Chains A and B, each alone.
Chain A
Amino acid sequence: MPSVLLIEDAPLVRRGLQLALSRHGHHVQVVETGEQGLREIDQAPPDLVVLDLMLPGIDGFEVCRRIRAGSDLPVIMLTARGDDLDVVGGLAAGADDYVVKPAQPAVLDARIRAVLRRSTAEADGVRTHGDLQVDTEALTVTLRGAAVALTPTELRLLLTLSRAPGRVLTRQQLLEDVWEHGYLGDSRLVDNGVMRLRGKIEDDPGRPRYVQTVRGFGYRFGPV
């Protein structure tokens, strides 16, 4: 049973989501503020955090940044629908996915399961691309021998891209393969994911060697 930490300040929303997610089989821990959430993560790390952006005290963006500074714990943001600033800000802060409010529990459950599935990839051994080594069994990535810490989403993105070096994958394909979103998924998820992945594996993220942009189409891994 996956353990989910819900950080939400509105008490009725908090209770409603807790009720609904529990029915989907999640063990839901709830807290009211970002500060409490961070303490909870320290003491008993959950499998995943569902984070409201509008919080008293430190807001959702800051909570997400602090979580990212310390761990690769998956984070799903609850944002206002279509408010681009919220979505972009949330993704830039390191969120793996977002769900717009009012969130349907069934959708939120699907996203939680998709994010958690990302750490389980097919097992076929160690692949080497230039200075980068990807162990698809142990699910570890090393750059010139040094371990690189990736979130499940970043790891899944790297695995998907590096499975076929030199082939162009559209944002749409990546959305479906990595985020398990249908057509209506947001291609900013892809762009932000690529940006964060580059920040961790590229020597110069401005002139990427591994994950390259193909203008108007999508992304391509190498060839290195």
Chain B
Amino acid sequence: MRYWPRGLRSRLVLAFVAVTMAGAGAAAWSSANSAAGALVTSTQQRLTESAVAQVEALAPQVQYPPDQAELDRLARTLGPDTLVRYPDLRPAGAELPAMITDDLRTATATGERVYAQRIVSGGRPWLLIGVPVLRTHPDGSQEPSGIEVYSVHDLSDVQEQIDGLTRSAIGTAALVLVPAVLLALLAARGVLRPVRELRDTARRLADGDLDARSQPHGADELAELTGTVNTMAESVQESMVAMSRMQTEARRFAADVSHELRTPLSTLTAVMEVLTAAAPSMDADARESAQLAIAETRHLVRLVEELMEISRFDSGTAHLRIEEVDLVAAVRECLRIRGWQHEVAVRAPEQLYWRADPRRLDAIVANLVANALRHGRPPVQVSIDSRAGQAEIAVTDSGPGVPDGALDHVFDRFYKADSARSPAAGSGLGLSIAMENARLHGGHLMVENTTDGAQFVLQLPGEGSRR
């Protein structure tokens, strides 16, 4: 169990209110206490003085030693709530012996002084006063006559007044609670506003909004912290800007280079055909040279095309053009126009319509099949299947599979698993482009070695219709 609230605001308010209430409570309690004390003291003094004055007024008229009748007369004169005692006689007056404590009796009987005592009996406060009756000798000296006068006063009224005082003190303290909470909220807001602003700024920075800053207020520690956060954001922003500029420049350079290469390649492509037609009539050396030039021009054209494609992915300018595509027909057509339909077996439903970019899909499938034919061994099989929310096109060959160390790298740019480059070797960009194309569809491209050979699986998300 957690008793202490977690939020800074509730903690601040609670602490503030607790301190205020403790102060107000202490002040109320001490003032109520001293007022109550003064009230009791003054009441006690007043009653004591009146008792003493009464006894003193009666004392000269009392016969010594008193008899029982004298004692009764004295008690009657003193009025109710009064008890008069003399050692060998029956006490006269009110029936209150139980309340008079032994302490008081002893003190009154032996002393010459007036004694007062407060007790609680029957749930009510009482004031007991014991007055010894003094005998005055003709020479003026005084001695205790042995007569003791006790008077009993009910202090309920006084107690009620004290209770009233206490109640009003508690009420006053409670009234303080409302302004205390308001003040605490105000103070908490003052402290918490910059903290909250800083939190929001930090959150925006974390979300990638590097323009986010906080305005420092005042010159306290929080303002200092705000300044530090702003400085941090600035330096992060500066390095991000520098990095992205460098990245943009590098990408633009790659795109520019590819673009510039395209003009001479256009010329080469145009004339290679003329050269191809003329090659048979050349002598052997010239013919081989022409054939090398033709092959390398084709290679170069493809490399530049793929580089441009990669730079479009890198610069984020590659876009999907989604259509309803019959994946099965698309795969068959892809194989047919490349003359692979007899080398590659297709296992697929009749039709499977899926939302995809047909050109990019063709590029992926062509690349995977070319890869299987080049690096694996026949038979190569393409299987097309769909399940909830996903279409799968798997290309499996019957070769030795991808070497173990190469599995993690086959989609890397310019990575070639077989270092001995065959004449038919690709650019090393084909699988990276296939991967980018799959990602652009929100899909995946995976590779694994099965018992047959290497298997590349293209997964496309979406909902299709099988017919």
Residues of A within 8 A of B (CB): 10, 12-13, 15-17, 19-20, 23, 80-82, 84, 101-106, 171, 182-184, 186-188, 216-217
Q: Which 3 A-B pairs have the closest CB atoms?
A: A16-B270, A183-B333, A102-B266
Within the complex, what minimum Cβ distance (angstroms) separates B266 from chain A?
4
**Segment of B173-181, B218-226, B257-265, B391-399 in the binding face:** B257-265
Within the complex, what minimum Cβ distance (angstroms) separates A56 from chain B?
14
Indicate whether B271 reaches chain A with its CB closer than 8 angstroms: yes
Contact B273–A23 (Cβ < 8 Å): yes
Using A101-B262, A102-B262, A183-B362 as known contacts, say yes or no to A20 and B270 having CB atoms under 8 A apart.
yes
**Bound Cα distance from A105 to B301, whole angstroms:** 14
Contact A12–B359 (Cβ < 8 Å): no
Known: A12-B264, A20-B271. 9 other contacts (CB 8 A): A12-B263, A17-B266, A80-B259, A81-B308, A82-B309, A101-B266, A104-B269, A183-B337, A184-B362
Contact B305–A81 (Cβ < 8 Å): yes
19 contacting pairs across A/B (C-beta < 8 A): A10-B263, A13-B267, A16-B269, A19-B271, A23-B274, A23-B277, A80-B259, A82-B309, A102-B262, A102-B301, A104-B273, A171-B323, A182-B337, A183-B330, A183-B358, A184-B337, A187-B323, A187-B358, A217-B324
Within the complex, what minimum Cβ distance (angstroms) separates A191 from chain B?
10
Contact B269–A102 (Cβ < 8 Å): yes
Residues of B within 8 A of A (CB): 259, 262-271, 273-274, 277, 301, 305, 308-309, 312, 319, 321, 323-324, 330, 333-334, 337, 358-359, 362
**Bound Cα distance from A12 to B277, whole angstroms:** 20
Contact B324–A13 (Cβ < 8 Å): no
**Bound Cα distance from A103 to B269, whole angstroms:** 7
Using A23-B277, A81-B308, A102-B301 as known contacts, say yes or no to A183 and B334 having CB atoms under 8 A apart.
yes
Within the complex, what minimum Cβ distance (angstroms) separates B322 from chain A?
11
Contact A19–B270 (Cβ < 8 Å): yes
**Bound Cα distance from A186 to B321, whole angstroms:** 10
Within the complex, what minimum Cβ distance (angstroms) separates A123 from chain B?
32
B residues less than 8 Å from A12 (CB atoms): 263-264, 267
Contact B269–A84 (Cβ < 8 Å): no
A residues less than 8 Å from B305 (CB atoms): 81
Give the nearest-CB partner of B271 in chain A: A16
Within the complex, what minimum Cβ distance (angstroms) separates A109 from chain B?
10
Contact A19–B274 (Cβ < 8 Å): yes
**Bound Cα distance from A59 to B265, whole angstroms:** 21
A residues less than 8 Å from B330 (CB atoms): 183
Give the nearest-CB partner of B277 in chain A: A23
Within the complex, what minimum Cβ distance (angstroms) separates B285 from chain A?
23
Contact A13–B277 (Cβ < 8 Å): no
